Structure 1
Amino acid sequence: MPPPRAWFAAARPVSFTAAAVPALAGTLIAAPESFTWWTALLAILGAVLFLAGTNFVNDYYDHRKGSDGPGALGPPGAIQQGILSPRQVLAAGAACFAAGAAIGVVLCAAVSWQLLWVGGAGLLAGFLYTGWPLHLAYRALGEAVVFAFMGPAVVMGAAFVQAERWTREAFAVSLPLGLLAAAILQANNLRDLDHDRAVGKRTLAVILGRRAAEAEFWVLLAAAYLALIGGAAAGFVPWPALLALLTLPFLRPMARTLRAVREGANPRRLNFLLRDAALLHLRFGLLLCLGLALHWVFG
């Protein structure tokens, strides 16, 4: 039996902030109205468990479909390294989904059974992202799924756990975070474009082609910042949340990476694009959360 650290590493913990930060943002946007610490922690943990389950199922189905085999530019997963068997990876995904669902039931009982719709949709989306029978990521729907469930679903769900109502404020806060999460996936698909095309994986980047896919990447990033500014201007997002605009200089390294690869640098440098997109989401999200916390404390 592999040691616990092997299972943890296979869950791709570096990605967990993509779920934890939106859940924290949803909690903080609702906190001035109502706040319960233990339901907030459960909401964040549930979101992370669903993402971990999605990661395991993604690894399992990518292995079955051969999209992470030889020639892939990304780091090998637990199956490719021989650390876990395909059956173990699929079982781990099921266990994470089951644990996340159990947390969802507790929150439904403590808050409202309306949360069942959000949790059920999140579980289905996480499994069907690459799982049978829809394989959404293989049908150019990956960005849409990531935007919807790592943005509005998580943020609004976490806010509902506190305020027990669906709010325009939570929706407004969710938009930039969902767009940045979709940009992370687009960076991943830009890196894997040639390999995905070779193995028959039809991502949006494969359909659009490299130049148009790069343009889409920048559109997603620009839309995230405009959504934040627009939300603040409309009065739905507290002005301190504009601290997230301090992340604008971090767009430069990504522009340099794309330009270098376009000019003939090793395509593996696109791993830096993916890393920087994930870090941008984290930095933007944390500064956004800091602004929401300042608004909660100081009004």
Structure 2
Amino acid sequence: MNKSILKFMRKSKTMTLSTDGIKLWGTKVYYALDHGFIFFIEKKGLTIQNIYKNNNVSFEIDNNKLSIIVQGSGHVEILGEPTDFDRERGILLYKVPEDVQFMKHGTVYIARLVPDFIRVIDMRTEFKKFDIDINLDEFTEKQHPVFLSSRPWSFQQSIAAILLGAVLATRINLFLLFLSIMGVLLAQASFNILNGYFDFKSGNDNKLSMTSTRVFIDRIVPERRAVQYSMIMLILAVIIGIYAVYIKPEILLYFVIGLIGGILYNLPRIGLKRMALGDISVFIIWSVIFLGSYIFQGGIINIPVIFISFAVGILTLSILHSNNWRDIKDDKNANVKTVASLLGEKISMIYYLILIYIPYILISTAFYLSYKLLPLLSVFITIPMSVYLARIAINNKNIKRGELDRLTARFTFIFAITGAVFYLGIMFIYGMDKFIL
């Protein structure tokens, strides 16, 4: 199959179905690839009625930005209740996590459309219309299960914290920067896997949970293998950390705080996250990641830098809270106490809004105390993104509420990276060489 078309189908999420005999009407579904197109379909309605009568269905996937349209036809198999199909459900919900809300109401079946014929209209450079051969083995989502369990989307905040800390230092040693990123990401990946594993074993995550990783719930990866990978990554992270301390003994305290904080956060039953201490621990850990990176590059801590570290910690905290806010009901059922579950729905919304706007105040304060931090005021160009998140948070009927943690992670990454890029840009304009090997 044409690789660019296959990549397009993997990247796309929505597909319009039309059953035979209905020319001007169709239903839009979210889909994922698994030896065909898998999706949820409502148990009641015209579409399901026509599929039961005749399972021949035509479909269309389009993307206006790329000017590609994939059309075709095939037969639909109604697999049954989503809770009975672990792997298929997991593949779909990882790609489209907001679909879990339909599962919660028990109003959908999981279905697979097996294509018999596919035609592509490609208008990116010139009009092309061609048929493609179908190989169902290629209809898969290309993501490694253990990699999924590490929640890779969450890495961006750590990378942003490390980069921002390094940029604010006098010089950036590229080798030390690489070492910092590798050590922190290995530790974070390990702790993320363990966090998902313990949530699954404790019953905190179940088939109806809107958890960001479903590899354990949906039996996509064996538990033992994931834990083994986690331990290997943690050992490698510790080795890198010890080497970093050997190079720069000043970061010993930050290394110890980060490591102990990550371990205590994830412990079953008595972990910090289960005693409403997760918020403060995440705030401290990511503030420390920023400060550790800053000191590792030779920076000297002062009051403005501390304010910036608070901004970094609060930005990461906003991601955690958006996740805990979504999971209030599940956490209460599992007897897990979070700040969100203690605050309740309405106060949690206010708390979230405070978390995404306080960093602007902290950055402004840092600039007031040190005018050389002027380039960091560039973060204010991300205000439209924060307004977008606020609108989602305020509207509890918005379908995006289910993936607010991911959207918040993207916002916080752009916030920090914007400041780092503008700061580097100003240094470049004034001819200041920031990089050494």
Q: Could you tell me the TM-score, scaled by structure 1's length?
A: 0.89
Any conservation in 2 of the 1:26–1:158 contact (CA below 8 Å)?
yes
Matching residue's letter, 1:45: M
Q: Which of 41, 62, 69 is matched with 2:206 structurally?
A: 69
**Offset at residue 294 of structure 1 (A):** 2.6
Moved over 3 A (4+): 164-170
Aligned to 1:138: 274
Q: 1:236 to 1:9 in 2, by over 3 A?
A: farther
Letter in 1 for 2:403: F
- 1:43 matches 2:43: no
C-alpha separation in 2, matches of 1:174 and 1:294? 21
Aligned with 1:68: secondary structure?
A: coil
Q: 1:34 to 1:260 in 2, by over 3 A?
A: closer
Partner of 2:252: 116
Show the counterpart of 1:13. 152
| Superposed displacement of residue 245, structure 1 | 0.7
Question: Over residues 24-52 of structure 1, what are the superposed CA-to-partner deviations in whole Å (9 max), with x where a residue is unaligned?
Answer: 1111111xx23321011111221111211
Task: Map Cα deviations across residues 123-170 of structure 1 (whole Å, 9 max, x no partner).
Answer: 1211221214631111111111111111x2011101111116444443
Show the counterpart of 1:176: 311
Is 2:158 the counterpart of 1:22?
no
Establish whether residue 293 from structure 1 lines up as the match of residue 424 from structure 2: yes
RMSD of aligned Cα (Å): 2.1
Query: Would the aligned equivalents of 2:186 and 2:237 in 1 still touch at CA under 8 Å?
Result: yes
Does the Cα contact within 8 Å between 1:240 and 1:292 map onto a contact in 2?
A: yes
Task: For CA contacts below 8 A with separation 6 or more, give which structure has more relative contact order.
Answer: 1
Q: 2:93 — aligned with what?
A: none
Structure-2 change in CA distance of 1:258 and 1:34 (3 Å) = closer
1:219 to 319, 335, 354: 354
Among residues 213, 237, 262, which one is paired with 1:126 in the alignment?
Answer: 262
- Residues 75 and 24 (structure 1), Cα distance of their counterparts in 2 relative to 1, 3 Å cut: closer
SS in 2 for 1:83: coil
1:239 and 2:374 aligned: yes
- The aligned runs of 1:28-107 (5 Å cut-off) are 28-30=167-169, 33-107=170-244
Structure with greater helix percent: 1
Q: 2:196 touches 2:213 (CA, 8 Å); kept in 1?
A: no
Looking at structure 2, the residues matched to 6 and 72 of structure 1 have their Cα atoms a distance apart, in angstroms, of 18
User: For structure 1, which segment, 154-163 or 78-87, has the greater mean C-alpha deviation from structure 2 after superposition?
Assistant: 78-87
Summarize deviations over 1:192-240 as a string: whole Å, max 9, x none.
1112112211111111111111111111122111101111111176101
Secondary structure, aligned partner of 2:144: helix
Tell me which of 295, 315, 320 is aligned to 1:160. Answer: 295
8 Å contact kept, 2:153–2:406: no
Aligned-pair distance for 1:295?
4.0
Query: In 2 relative to 1, CA 279–164 (structure 1 residues): closer, same or farther, beyond 3 Å?
Result: closer
Matches of 1:80 and 1:133 in 2, distance apart? 19
Counting matched residue pairs gives 289
| Alpha-carbon distance change, 93 to 211 in structure 1, aligned in 2, over 3 angstroms | same
Which amino acid in the other structure matches residue 271 of structure 1?
G
How far apart are 1:256 and its partner, in Å? 2.4
Q: Which amino acid aligns with 1:91?
A: Q
Gapped regions of structure 1 (runs ≥ 5): none
2:304, 2:369 within 8 Å by CA — same for their partners in 1?
no
- In the alignment, which residue of structure 1 is the partner of 2:52? none
Change (3 A) 1:88 1:146: same
Q: Which amino acid aligns with 2:162?
A: A
- State the TM-score, normalizing by the size of structure 2: 0.62
Is residue 276 of structure 2 the alignment partner of residue 276 of structure 1?
Answer: no
Moved more, 44-53 or 224-233: 44-53
Structure showing greater Rg? 2
Q: Taking structure 1 as reference, are residues 22 and 221 closer, same or farther at Cα in structure 2, changes over 3 Å only?
A: same
Q: Deviations for 1:64-96, whole angstroms, at most 9, x for unmatched residues? A: 211111331234422112122222222222222
Greater alpha carbon shift after TM alignment, 207-216 vs 82-91: 82-91
Cα–Cα, structure 1 residues 64 and 230, in superposed 2: closer, same or farther, change >3 Å? same
Residue 16 of structure 1 aligns to a residue whose secondary structure is helix
